[in-house]
Amino acid sequence: MRKADVVVIGGSAAGIPAAITSRRHYPEKSVLLVRKEQQVLIPCGIPYIFGIVGCPEKDLIPDAVLEKNGIELLVDEVTDIDRDAHTITTAGGEKIGYQRLVLATGSGPIVPPIPGVDKENIFAIRKDVAYLQRMCDAMDTCSNLVIVGCGFIGVEIAEEARRRRKDLNISIVEMLRHCLQLVYDEDFCVKAEEALQNQGIELLLDEKVESFLGGERVERVRLASGREIEADMVIMGIGAAANAELAKKAGLEIGPTKGIQVNRYMQTSDEHIFACGDCAEKVSFFDGKPSRLKLASIATMEARVAGANLFSPRRVNMGVIGVYSTILGETAFAAAGLTEAEARKKGYTVIVGEAEAVNRHPGCMPGAEKLRVKLIFEAGSRVILGGQVSGAKSGGELINAISACIHQRMTADDIATFQTGTHPALTASPIAYQLVNAAEMAIANSWKLSSRWGMSG
């Protein structure tokens, strides 16, 4: 029987960093990664195979990263876990012993039971090279593309489909009032919608798909409003569900959102088995309640917690913040933590600060573009709860700094007084630095709020 000190099941955004982290923290331990896919896609790059990247074969994680870190690879599907014997069994007939097991089995697309959803040319986003290539081929020959869901997957695929086919009719159906509504406040959503509409993408907001019509192949989409729209290709982009069947079969505890239940160390109900990434349960950084967030950035964070803790507790998962970024047209959109609307819904009294300035100084420097920052703080403590950015592409990195501020529970005063590095060709002026000035504006607004409450200080 084959043996490894650490066995990782899954080879994507969680599995690879979990294996690498365990190797770094426990260099004396052998590490084996088992995955069923011959090729592993870069998850966040999938929308771009339809446009900029061109095809699935150009969006792959190279296996060299495993070899470089001394991690053994087995391409096979794990079918059973024997927790008593500390072994796994594969479809290829191998039995492998482990000291510690990491489940990083990911997620699959949610496909609701809408009448007609099984018709030809209706696709979900599956992390499978051959399947995605069939999607590319279908996009090259279709006339009317309908995307269901106006979240990140939906808007990014729509824009890449436009890049691939200038003549393609593209519509997005979204049941919420605005696109990207779960991530941004309304004014940011409206700006994103304008960026899509300027490219000739039709947005059918506050609408719901009732059924898919046609023969064997989809021909039309009927909406709950009674409207029918032409569609010879449909892409479902409404979310993902945890792949927890293997864990459930092994008798591991499953959590409230149907993921594998884990503690703050990423340990499952079996002390020798850990789970991370989309397959694992999550809790919010802000209130500790179950969260359905599934992001590659979360998966890699959890993997680094799990891999470090396999043989002794070294790291704690403080909960998911949620950090997002995308680019629509030439405008970057990024967010971290709670929106203003979500914070109020959770019961926070909030203060908000906003600042907009050119991201170079002086503004005639090459690459100068406006960058807007909005920060949300809890009013009493002035601790940051969230932030949103739009405008220049540098906002994609700035949102990571905002996430760090949230993780460290920095206050508006902390942010307003921390030392920034600036350069005319790289950043906004230190006088107009958006992150600092947004914090200052929030402090100013807090004084106004205190005055209304009849308070001081």
- Residue 127: its pLDDT value, please? 95
Spell out the CATH class of 2-108+241-309. Answer: alpha beta
Residues 6+ positions from 156 with CB-CB distance below 8 Å? 47, 48, 326
- Residue 451: its pLDDT value, please? 62
- Residue 457: its pLDDT value, please? 43
Q: Does pLDDT of 449 surpass 90?
A: no
Contact 51, 160 (CB under 8 A): yes
Q: Does pLDDT of 434 surpass 70?
A: yes
Q: Does pLDDT of 448 surpass 80?
A: no
pLDDT higher for 354 or 455?
Answer: 354
- Tell me the pLDDT tens digit for each residue of 316-328: 999 999 999 999 9
Give the mean model confidence (pLDDT) for residues 352-373: 95
CATH architecture group of domain 111-238:
3-Layer(bba) Sandwich (3.50)
Q: Does pLDDT of 53 surpass 60?
A: yes
- Tell me the pLDDT tens digit for each residue of 117-174: 999 999 999 999 999 999 999 999 999 999 999 999 999 999 999 999 999 999 999 9
- Domains of the chain, by residue range, sit at 2-108+241-309, 111-238, 323-447
Fold matches, 2-108+241-309 and 323-447: no
Contact 274, 281 (CB under 8 A): no
Phi and psi based region of residue 144 (left: phi greater than 0; alpha: psi -120 to 50; beta: remaining): beta
- Residue 453: its pLDDT value, please? 53
Give the mean model confidence (pLDDT) for residues 258-268: 98
Distance in angstroms (rounded) separating the CA atoms of residues 386 and 82: 43
Q: Does pLDDT of 447 surpass 80?
A: no
- Tell me the pLDDT tens digit for each residue of 90-122: 999 999 999 999 999 999 999 999 999 999 999
Q: How confident is the model at residue 190 (pLDDT cuts 50, 70, 90)?
A: very high
Residue 246 backbone dihedrals phi, psi, to 5 degrees = -60, -45
- Residue 446: its pLDDT value, please? 84
Query: CA angle, corner 60, sides to 55 and 61, nearest 5?
Result: 170
Query: CA angle, corner 361, sides to 358 and 365, nearest 5?
Result: 90
- Residue 450: its pLDDT value, please? 65
Q: How confident is the model at residue 456 (pLDDT cuts 50, 70, 90)?
A: very low
Which tokens go with 434?
């958006």
Distance in angstroms (rounded) separating the CA atoms of residues 398 and 278: 25
Please name which of 13, 28, 35, 36 lies closest in space to residue 99, comparing C-alpha atoms.
Answer: 28
Decide yes or no: CATH 3.30.390.30 for domain 323-447: yes
Q: How confident is the model at residue 179 (pLDDT cuts 50, 70, 90)?
A: very high
